[in-house]
Amino acid sequence: MKLFDVYPINPINIVKGVGSLVYDDKGTEYLDLYGGHAVISIGHTNPHYVKRLEDQLHQIGFYSNSIEIPLQKELAEKLGHVSGKEDYQLFLCNSGAEANENALKLASFYNGKKKVIAFKGAFHGRTSLAVAVTDNPKIIAPVNETDNAVFLPWKDEAALEQAFAENEISSVIIEGIQGVGGIQVAPESFLQKIRSLCDANNAVFIADSVQCGYGRTGKFFSHDYAGINADIYTMAKGMGNGFPVGGIIISPKIQPAYGMLGTTFGGNHLACAAGLAVLEVMERDNLMQNAAEVGGYLIEEIKKFKQVTEVRGRGLMIGIELPEAKPNVVRLLPALNLTKAHADRFLEAFTTVLN
Ligand code: PLP
């Protein structure tokens, strides 16, 4: 049997990883500032993470949501504490698309409305509604097309007001920093405007934090920079440091009901152990602070290159605009415990490549 050939891959076979370093089958060492697309949050094979998963595997790896899983409550408690959203409620799933799908569905259950505002450049995943609110017609199959998605220009407050005036809006979904869209930071005033329009119109504010969340920008959610609370935050990527875990946290104003949402795999024992290990390491090693410091340092240093026309982002979510390169935005999405020495190693290599 052959693989279904959908990925344009790099010809590298990574066989080992330690922290921010990975090694291929020929023994070549690479400094990993990509983290498997923002997934590796606490570094490859982090010892605490490996031990917690190994210990859990020896106990029990999986059981479904038909029984008590105390690890889920432990994870919710820890997540509330580390994110500062203590009064929110956690629903666990397995991926970013699934998190967004559940958030959009929950918003519609909540207010009984159908239209979703999304933005130019947005990426929210590949499942039915998540892809319908993603700004890429090439990945929207005819069966996913819907009149319920309302696309607006990025950062355009007047268009936002007009869309609310003309439609019954169920929810607004927005990345705090667009990732796939090229590291575009949502202005704080724009996020505040969305908050006030959602409040005035009984619409749900969904903060897609799948890529820009989980401490990457120096705050737990990049939307926090605007000083607002979203109604639902969606998460995945860094949440499990490579173990597939996704989730949404939900404001107390949205009440659950049995059967409203559900999943077979979401919240299983191993996934919770991975999620807990990540938060424990983040807290123990002050990784949000490290992301802010090392990221801030990198941003300032990269700005000094004359070939670079713009540097965008926050913390360790960085986009480097290089008109000469293809694609012209180089994205850095390393582990949150990237050291300054590794940042310097990158800057040295970047100097060599640009010269
Ligand atoms: N939302 C954002 C902002 C993303 O960047 C991605 C993936 O890149 C997704 C959602 C989808 O996540 P997943 O690939 O885990 O379904």
CATH among 3.30.420.40, 3.40.50.2000, 3.90.1150.10, 1.10.3720.10 for 14-46+286-354: 3.90.1150.10
Biggest CA pair distance of the chain: 61
Task: List pLDDT tens digits, range 69-103.
Answer: 999 999 999 999 999 999 999 999 999 999 999 99
Q: How many residues does the chain have?
A: 355
Measured CA to CA, the distance from residue 293 to residue 299 in angstroms comes to 10
Q: How far is the CA of 96 from the centre of ligand 1 (A)?
A: 5
Q: Which ligand 1 atom lies nearest to the CA of residue 126? A: 16
Check residue 326 and give its pLDDT.
Answer: 79
263 is written with which tokens?
């999943």
Contacts of 169 (CB under 8 A, 6+ apart): 113, 115, 116, 117, 150, 163, 198, 201, 203
Query: CA 98 to CA 180: how far, in whole Å?
Result: 17
Select from 3.40.50.970, 3.75.10.10, 3.40.640.10, 1.10.260.40 the CATH code of 49-284.
3.40.640.10
Q: List strands edge to edge, sheet with 115-119.
A: 89-93, 246-250, 232-235, 204-208, 169-175, 115-119, 149-152
Angle separating helix axes 340-354 and 287-303, nearest 10 degrees: 20
Rounded CA separation 130/94 (Å): 14
Q: How far is the CA of 209 from the centre of ligand 1 (A)?
A: 9
- Mutational pocket test of ligand 1: of 237, 245, 333, the residue with most ligand atoms within 8 Å of the beta carbon: 237
Q: Measuring from each residue's beta carbon to the nearest atom of ligand 1, which residues come in under 6 Å?
A: 95-97, 100, 123-125, 175, 179-180, 208, 210-211, 236
CATH 3.40.640.10 region(s) of the chain? 49-284
Atom of ligand 1 nearest to the CA of 209: 3
Residue 114: per-residue pLDDT: 98
Whether residue 354 contacts residue 307, with contact meaning beta carbons closer than 8 Å, is answered with yes
Angle between helices 287-303 and 269-284 in degrees, nearest 10: 70
Q: Which residues of the chain have pLDDT under 70?
A: none
Is the separation of the CB atoms in 336 and 316 below 8 Å? yes
- pTM score > 0.95 for this model? yes
Residue 19 host element (H or E): none
Q: Kindly report, as residue ranges, where domains of CATH 3.90.1150.10 are found in the chain.
A: 14-46+286-354
pLDDT of 322 reads 95
Q: What pLDDT is recorded for position 327?
A: 80
β-bridge partners, 205 = 172
CA of 71 to the centre of ligand 1 (A): 25
